[in-house]
Structure 1
Amino acid sequence: MLETAIVGGGLCGIALARSLQQRGGSFALFEARHRLGGRVLSVRSRTGLALDLGPTWFWPDTQPLLTGLIAELGLSDFAQHDDGTVLHLKEADKSPEPISGPPLHQGARRLSGGMTRLIEALVRDLPPSSIHTGHELMRVIDCGTHVRLVFATSTESVAIEAKRAVLALPPRLLIDHVGFRPELDDATFEAMRSTETWMAAQAKVVIAYDQARWRDKGLSGNAFASHEQAVVGEIFDACDEGGDRAALGGFLAFAPALRETFAVGLPMLMDSQMVQLFGAELDGGEQHYQDWATERFTCSALDRTTPRGEHSEIASPMLRRPLWDGRLHLGGAETASHAAGYLEGAINAARRIERAIARAADAPVGARAGVALDEGLTGNEASLAWFAAWVAAQRDAAFDDYRQRLNRSLATQQREQLTQLAVLGAIEQVFAAALQVLDALTFDMRNVAVERGRSALMPEIQKPFRDVMQSLLDDAIAFNRTSCALSNFPFEHRPPKDYVQTILRDIAAAWQEFSLAANHLLLAKADAVRQPSGVSS
């Protein structure tokens, strides 16, 4: 039986597969298409220029995971060309106007040879026998000790069993294509349904030319068309690093239905707009066009029909929770806690799942109360390690408590301080339970120093709570942003900075109260050890 079945051969799935390969775990990667890369797609012009029809850029200043991976793989990159004048076509029958401002792409870089080079470099580390293309996932079944995945290929139905499954796909595609037994809980399903697939309903064109004539005119290649008849709304320079092989790229302004209506004449319309912007010498370029809205393994029915909303770079925390007792994980860029929808988000999601799998693999048999404990530790170190693991395990429970409190407040039609009261109540519950756990643990207090009324054990008691407190607040804010129920409560839906600061002060006060109580408990344990036998105070 496989240890891990990864479904989805985009960047998240492939990056995770590479990490598991490095760890020596047993895995297989399944992809519905007959190619890998997902939304990463580069094609070649007749001159050999790599043209990115999917993701094009990465930003080293804000995308450290992706930037580090590119460096680790030894891939060459170059700065996006932004030098020169930017054009704006405001009216269909007028000439474009020059506009000024800072560089449009803000330090963006591109990969030499196209973004597909990233996928190719990652796949090189994987055994070919572990990759299965042309496998469309139809059903996922929880069998109690493992999962069963049923795939459709061009010729047959294939069932695979694995200890765990990772679905590295946009959540809305799972709703469209995959059946779950048992069905996923309502909160998870709603989070999946509410998560827009980034760029799924968009279309992109890249047009190759014999030379970058716009650069000779002092133009950057960047342009915008904002009039009602605009065909390509945003245009950029897509030349190679030296500018010797020339191209312009652009994102279509037409909605999916309009692109379908004008499909026959679209090449002529796109060509005409490039000529209007940059001159007659750009007539008749070599067009490469990709309409992602027509890709059934990229764009869901909801993505095609729902107007694009405001993009949130933090996905709902409901999508990051292991399901079925850790046997099912949701992955893909749309589940990321940072840069959701972007390539950086895909790596973020892969790292999260890699850590979860590593924790499950490293957990010793017979761990107390479901908490892993290093069997080589003894005495106070063992108790502190167990307590730290217990605290870390409260992250999901605290967030569940927060959601329940929030839902109760909404059900009783409370309208004020919803997030504040729910976060405070959830973290206070964690602190109360922690005091009970701490009281039940055994410590050897004979050689534990007390200085100025503070036990020397307190720093280790306090340390694991920092991540839990921050995680709860981050998850609460992310959940609120993706919650339809809170959309009528703007102050809660997108908490302003001063409201968040108020919540932080509440958490700090509760934290101080817990710390004093925990220290008092440890001092009482120390007093009990020092108290002579048979003497009561």
Structure 2
Amino acid sequence: MSHPVVVVGAGLSGLQASCLLQQAGLRVLLVEADGRAGGRVMSAGGGAGAHRVDMGPSWFWPDMNPRVERLVQQLQLDHFPQFTEGASLVEAPDGQLYKRMAGWSQGSQRIRGGTQALVEALLARLTDQVQLKLGTRLLSMALQADGVALTLQGVAGTWTQLAAQVIVTLPPRLFAQDLACSPAWPGELMQAMHATPTWMAGHAKFAAVYAQPFWREAGLSGMAMSQRGPMSEIHDASDEHGATAALFGFVGAAPGYRAGVGREALMQQSLAQLVRLFGPQAATPLWCDLKDWAQAPLTATPADHRPLSHHPAYQQAVVPEPWRQRVWLAGTERSAQFGGYLEGALDSAERAVEGLLARRRVDALGEHGLPNMTE
């Protein structure tokens, strides 16, 4: 077909899908509603190649994440273990501190330059076979005899793009909330999408960067658990040598509280907590940052503001007939085994591309393996 394959969403899943389609020799239009690629993969700090602090996913586990490990190797990126040497701290609700002398080794790895280095390396792999359009939102999909008509909206206005096939990497809740389909998808399927949490969408992360890792000098690992807050879990976020020193924490305070107190007040509260935990040197970082994903409308819906008590059980994507020959769903929430993780984003992208290419082979050869003379 003369129409391109359209990939919706330039997060890790969409970028990997686009690279795989490019390798298969297909033309791809990759559209992203945000003004940047990466989705929930975001690293703050210096430019490419410099140490950056992850404001989204920070870790992968080689034994459990073979796709991430393989991709890191293919892209010739370096990684290093999460620093865990030294004592960890526990902060009680009354502010009392308890020290755990045994370190907590979690076996996790961090990518040099931040997880965003994955995104940048995948972007660098794209050739002119893939056209990337940032700031471009998908509004609707209409099934046609020769493909899918997509209504897209960008800075220049709204237009219709015909696609041979489509891979949609939107989180299920955003798909159900924002995307109109003709013919409509079954109501029970849309309800199931509404009920599927977007992983980490209700969370916020705070990071502070220092001239030196003073907590290490005090025999601390930089890890702390707190029942007082606003951060509930804190880790060392320095580079592998400790030359660029950093701490980051998951803000446990609810999204409503965070929105009510405001960004600057929440950052000051987080710094004050680091002082309580690690001493007065924590009060003067070189810089600090806060990313509240619950306030990012391209990530979270109001339903994501409700806290999760456990890791959701994600399901493999289901596409209804008659859409099944034209549309595939990807994104980490579409991975039954690895949902919520970087591994899930890659797993779902690979499955979507495999299904799409298999369908194209059938279209080219016919249902019985013979050349389809109608195309």
Give the alignment's TM-score, normalised by structure 2.
0.92
Residues 323 and 16 of structure 1, relative CA distance in 2, 3 Å threshold = farther
The alignment partner of 1:110 has SS state of strand
Q: 2-side partners of 1:127 and 1:164: how far apart?
A: 20
Q: Point out where structure 1 has 5 or more consecutive residues left out of the alignment.
A: 376-537
Q: Which residue number corresponds to residue 345 of structure 1?
A: 344
Q: Look up the equivalent residue of 1:123 and give its one-letter code.
A: L
Q: Which residue number corresponds to residue 233 of structure 1?
A: 232
Q: Which residue number corresponds to residue 207 of structure 1?
A: 208
Q: Which residue number corresponds to residue 151 of structure 2?
A: 150
Q: 2-side partners of 1:355 and 1:309: how far apart?
A: 34
**Superposition pairs of residues 5-404 of structure 1, within 5 angstroms:** 5-44=6-45, 49-94=51-96, 96-99=97-100, 103-104=104-105, 106-127=106-127, 130-227=131-228, 230-263=229-262, 264-285=264-285, 286-304=287-305, 306-312=306-312, 314-319=313-318, 324-363=323-362, 367=366, 370=367, 372-373=368-369
Q: 2-side partners of 1:56 and 1:322: how far apart?
A: 38
Q: 2-side partners of 1:226 and 1:309: how far apart?
A: 16
Q: 2-side partners of 1:358 and 1:246: how far apart?
A: 46
CA contact (8 A) 1:30 1:133 kept: yes
Residues 78 and 365 of structure 1, relative CA distance in 2, 3 Å threshold = closer
The alignment partner of 1:142 has SS state of strand
Q: 2-side partners of 1:276 and 1:147: how far apart?
A: 57
The structure carrying a bigger strand percent of its residues is 2
CA contact (8 A) 2:317 2:330 kept: no
CA contact (8 A) 1:150 1:157 kept: yes
Q: 1-side partners of 2:363 and 2:295: how far apart?
A: 48
Residues 130 and 213 of structure 1, relative CA distance in 2, 3 Å threshold = same
Q: Look up the equivalent residue of 1:177 and give its one-letter code.
A: D
Residues 323 and 55 of structure 1, relative CA distance in 2, 3 Å threshold = farther
Give the C-alpha shift of residue 310 in structure 1: 2.3
The alignment partner of 1:236 has SS state of strand
Query: Could you list the per-position Cα deviations for residues 41-93 of structure 1 after superposition, in whole angstroms to 9, with x for gaps in the alignment?
Result: 112159x5311111111100101111111111111111110111010001334
Aligned-residue Cα RMSD (Å) equals: 2.1
Q: 2-side partners of 1:2 and 1:301: how far apart?
A: 36
The alignment partner of 2:258 has SS state of helix
Residues 254 and 363 of structure 1, relative CA distance in 2, 3 Å threshold = same
Query: Could you list the per-position Cα deviations for residues 254-310 of structure 1 after superposition, in whole angstroms to 9, with x for gaps in the alignment?
Result: 111100111142122111100000011111212111001111101112112x33242
Give the C-alpha shift of residue 315 in structure 1: 2.1
Give the C-alpha shift of residue 3 in structure 1: 3.5
Q: 2-side partners of 1:242 and 1:124: how far apart?
A: 27
Give the C-alpha shift of residue 149 in structure 1: 0.7
The alignment partner of 2:324 has SS state of coil
Q: 2-side partners of 1:179 and 1:322: how far apart?
A: 16
Q: 2-side partners of 1:84 and 1:22: how far apart?
A: 46
Please say which structure displays the higher CA radius of gyration. 1
Give the C-alpha shift of residue 12 in structure 1: 0.4
Give the C-alpha shift of residue 206 in structure 1: 1.0
CA contact (8 A) 1:237 1:248 kept: yes
The alignment partner of 1:124 has SS state of helix
CA contact (8 A) 1:205 1:287 kept: yes
CA contact (8 A) 2:85 2:103 kept: no
Q: 2-side partners of 1:65 and 1:146: how far apart?
A: 31
- Aligned residue-pair number: 366
Q: 1-side partners of 2:185 and 2:115: how far apart?
A: 35
Give the C-alpha shift of residue 193 in structure 1: 1.3
Q: Look up the equivalent residue of 2:62 and give its one-letter code.
A: P
Residues 317 and 190 of structure 1, relative CA distance in 2, 3 Å threshold = farther
Q: 2-side partners of 1:224 and 1:136: how far apart?
A: 39
**Superposition pairs of residues 493-508 of structure 1, within 5 angstroms:** none
Q: 2-side partners of 1:243 and 1:299: how far apart?
A: 34
Q: 2-side partners of 1:102 and 1:240: how far apart?
A: 19
Q: Look up the equivalent residue of 1:269 and give its one-letter code.
A: Q
Q: 2-side partners of 1:187 and 1:33: how far apart?
A: 29
Give the C-alpha shift of residue 356 in structure 1: 0.4
Q: 2-side partners of 1:31 and 1:99: how far apart?
A: 45
CA contact (8 A) 1:168 1:330 kept: yes
Identity fraction in percent: 31
The alignment partner of 2:125 has SS state of coil
Deviates more, 1:342-351 or 1:145-154: 145-154
Q: Look up the equivalent residue of 1:278 and give its one-letter code.
A: F
The alignment partner of 1:325 has SS state of helix
Give the C-alpha shift of residue 338 in structure 1: 1.7
Q: 1-side partners of 2:217 and 2:319: how far apart?
A: 49
The alignment partner of 1:14 has SS state of helix
Q: 2-side partners of 1:322 and 1:3: how far apart?
A: 22
Query: Could you list the per-position Cα deviations for residues 175-227 of structure 1 after superposition, in whole angstroms to 9, with x for gaps in the alignment?
Result: 22211111111232122112110000100011001100000011000001113
Give the alignment's TM-score, normalised by structure 1.
0.65
Residues 139 and 83 of structure 1, relative CA distance in 2, 3 Å threshold = same
Q: 2-side partners of 1:329 and 1:49: how far apart?
A: 36
Residues 322 and 212 of structure 1, relative CA distance in 2, 3 Å threshold = farther
Q: 1-side partners of 2:365 and 2:78: how far apart?
A: 48
Residues 213 and 142 of structure 1, relative CA distance in 2, 3 Å threshold = same
